[in-house]
Every structure is written in C-alpha cells, then in structure tokens.
Amino acid sequence: MDIPLLDLKAQYKSIKNKIDDALMRVVESQYFVLSQEVESLEKEVADYCGALYGAGVASGTDALILAMRALGIGEGDFVITSPFTFFATSESISLLGARPLFADIDAETYNIDPNKIIKLLQSADINVRSRIKAIVPVHLYGQCADMDAITEIAEQFHLKIVEDCAQAMGAMYKGKKAGSFGSAGAFSFFPSKNLGAFGDGGIILSQDEAFIRKVKELRVHGSREMYIHEEIGYNSRLDSLQAAILRVKLLELDSWLERKRVIADKYDKAFTPLGILPPKVDENNVHTYHQYTIRLEDRDELMQYLNRKGISARVYYPVPLHLQPCYKNLGYSIGSFPISETAAEHVLSLPVYPELSEDKIDYIIQTVKSFFGS
C-alpha cells in the first residue's frame, strides 16, 4: 500500500466542482491580482481567526518579512525566535538586516520556551538588549506556543510579537485562534498547509488598521497612490485565483481539522504503549496536526522501515537553525540549544490528512507496531 504524507489529489477530488466554479469565476472576470476576490478572502480569514484586518501577500515568508518591516524592524535590530522551525522564520529576520536571537524550545510541545526567552533577555548585553525589538513565536506542527507567557514577557520588555502561524491556521489557545494574539499573525498558504492554495500565498492578520494599511502599501512597491512611492517596498501580492480557491477551502477547514484530530487520537492510543512519545497537546490548546509528529529513539530506522512498506514519513526538521551553514557567523555551536538538537535527532512526522481512509490508518498503525515486534 502506498501512503503519501499528504494527498492533495484526494482533497481536490472532494471539492472539485466548487473549486472549478471558483476558478471559472476569476477567469471570466479577468482580474488576476488582488481584486475583490482577495479582499473577500482577507475579510473571511480575518473573521475566521478572530482578527479585524487582513492583507494577502505572495507567501508565508513574505508575510513574515512585510509584518516585521511594517513594525519598523530592520538593520541592526534583534528578534527572538525558535531554532526549531522551518528556515523561513529566521530567514525573514535576516533579510530585513536584523539578527535572529534563538531561545530553546519546550521538550514536549516543540514550541519556544518562555523561560528561555526570559533567560535570554536577562542575560543579554545592554547594547543588544536595547536593540531587541520583537519575539516571533512559531506555532509549530499546528499547535500554539504559550501565548499568555509570551505576551507577558513582550509587555514587560516592550517587544512586539509577530506570530509565525504558517502551520497553524485554525489552531486555538485558550479559546482564541492563532494569529489573534500578537501585533501581527503571519500565515502561509503553501499547498501543504492547513489552508493551502494551488501555489504560493500568504496573509498577515492584525487588530490594527493602520498597520494593515502600511502592509498593503509595502506589498505594492511602497505605494499608497499609484506611481507615487512613499518608500521602497515589494511586489508581494496574492493572486485572485489563489484567493478564490482559498475561499472554497476555508469553508471546509473546520471539518478537515476535526477529522485530523480523530486520526491523531487513534495514533496516540496505538503508539503510546509502544514507548513512542506522541504529540503532547498542551491543556490550553486545540491542535490542528499540520504534522503528526512522534518522538522515539530509533527514528531513522523506523522512517526507513515505513518508507520500505510504502508509508511516507519525514523529519521536520533535521538541522536546527542555529546549526545552519549560513548562520556560522552568529556564533552558535552544537550544544547551544540542546532541546532543539535532541528533537531534530528524534522526531518523525507521519501521514495525517482528512482523506486518509480507515484501512490506511490501520495499515500505518499495524506497520509501526510490527517495527516494534508487537
């Protein structure tokens, strides 16, 4: 049996007529960039996430870049984030001329540990501390970071928060959705994400109208009025075709997330007795299982075994950001963030998607069990 990590063909099949109608609506209109379609999506995603305003952009990476740029983060600034995430989180900081300052993660949720943020702030040299401008918590694998603790720290140290929500559309912390806590929430619509387009895309959400206005200027070459450029901006716009697709998928999202939680529950029950650590869901959180990520000693052996049996399983992420070749100049080394390093050595993500049939779920469970000889 062949089981991919994600089956986007099956997803398309389940909503084909609605998607095709939406695509034709845009084709007939011949408005392809931004447009009414994007404005409607911005409003609908903001409503869904409990934010007041949204601005569609070209990718999740751009969402991070434009959000931080609109908050005034730039050359010589420092931004605190997690070393255990996809590279775009810190890349966006670096591209603005700022420097990532990493704080290690919690060993069970894999999200940035607020205690490590405090330690970092307290031990930072006074020259560095005065230039730390923001915290970028990543809601990794689809579960929110500890936003109460992070918000408290941000208030105490006068820092902005830009939530990296790329993996967490629909995730909840204490009844509030990801993207509604910080100065901004940055989301990715990359096809594999909880809400995925048919290409690249992203959105920035906020409660602050003036901030979103600024983002909307930045995404069209720093221009408020056509051909008048207030500042150097970007070409980072969301396409109408993507917006039309996303508007259809947004209506399905809650039922998809619910189905993923049912699958995750089956996995949890089957794997725990094997000595595998299933994803820890913090009591304040509703997880979205962008990834279903287990931790175990013999990670590489299990991954190879599953792959041989036709089951895709992958490591997100094998090399923490502080050990990336491009960050040699930041002065970190092996041992700088031991919890992230251990996670990178032992995590493994298994297929979890709404269209996964019962027989495939059973096959995955039985195959994992057979690896452990049970």
Kindly state the smallest distance separating residue 100's Cβ from ligand PLP, in Å: 13
> Binding of ligand PLP at residue 3 (CB under 6 A)?
no
> Binding of ligand PLP at residue 182 (CB under 6 A)?
no
Two tokens, residue 219? 């995404």
Q: Using CA of residue 353, residue 356, residue 360, residue 363, what is the dihedral sign?
A: positive
Residues 292 and 264: their CA atoms lie apart, in Å, by 7
121/138 with CB nearer ligand PLP: 138
Kindly state the smallest distance separating residue 212's Cβ from ligand PLP, in Å: 19
Residues 174 and 30: their CA atoms lie apart, in Å, by 43
Position among 37, 77, 146, 200 found at the interface with ligand PLP (CB under 6 A): 200
Kindly state the smallest distance separating residue 68's Cβ from ligand PLP, in Å: 12
Query: What is the secondary structure of 313-347 as a DSSP string?
Result: -B-S-SS-GGGSGGGGGGT--TTSSHHHHHHHHHE
Name the residue with the smallest CB distance to ligand PLP.
60
143/167 with CB nearer ligand PLP: 167
Two tokens, residue 204? 């920035």
Task: Annotate each residue in 237-276 with x if it binds ligand PLP (CB under 6 A) or - if it does not, as one string.
Answer: ----------------------------------------
The single-letter code of the amino acid at 143 is Q
85/143 with CB nearer ligand PLP: 85
Segments of the chain assigned E as strands: 53-57, 78-81, 99-102, 132-136, 160-164, 172-173, 176-177, 184-188, 202-206, 223-225, 228-229, 285-286, 292-295, 347-350
> Binding of ligand PLP at residue 364 (CB under 6 A)?
no
Position among 164, 217, 239, 341 found at the interface with ligand PLP (CB under 6 A): 164
Q: Which of 116, 124, 122 is nearest to 146 (CA)?
A: 116
146/164 with CB nearer ligand PLP: 164
> Binding of ligand PLP at residue 166 (CB under 6 A)?
yes
**Coil, strand, or helix at residue 244?**
helix
Q: Which of 211, 178, 216 is nearest to 45 (CA)?
A: 178
> Binding of ligand PLP at residue 203 (CB under 6 A)?
no
Position among 190, 198, 256, 289 found at the interface with ligand PLP (CB under 6 A): 190
Position among 35, 109, 143, 167 found at the interface with ligand PLP (CB under 6 A): 167
Position among 188, 206, 288, 293 found at the interface with ligand PLP (CB under 6 A): 188
- 300 and 269 in contact (C-beta within 8 Å)? no
Residues 83 and 363: their CA atoms lie apart, in Å, by 34
Angle value at C-alpha 202, between 182 and 14, nearest 5 degrees: 115
> Binding of ligand PLP at residue 146 (CB under 6 A)?
no
88/276 with CB nearer ligand PLP: 88
> Binding of ligand PLP at residue 142 (CB under 6 A)?
no
> Binding of ligand PLP at residue 289 (CB under 6 A)?
no
> Binding of ligand PLP at residue 349 (CB under 6 A)?
no
- Using CB under 6 A, count the residues that bind ligand PLP: 15
82/240 with CB nearer ligand PLP: 82
Inter-axis angle of helices 240-271 and 35-49, nearest 10: 30
Within 52-111, the residues that bind ligand PLP by CB under 6 A are 59-61, 85-86, 88-89
- β-sheet bridge partners, residue 100: 79
Residues that bind ligand PLP (CB under 6 A): 59-61, 85-86, 88-89, 138, 164, 166-167, 188, 190, 200, 202
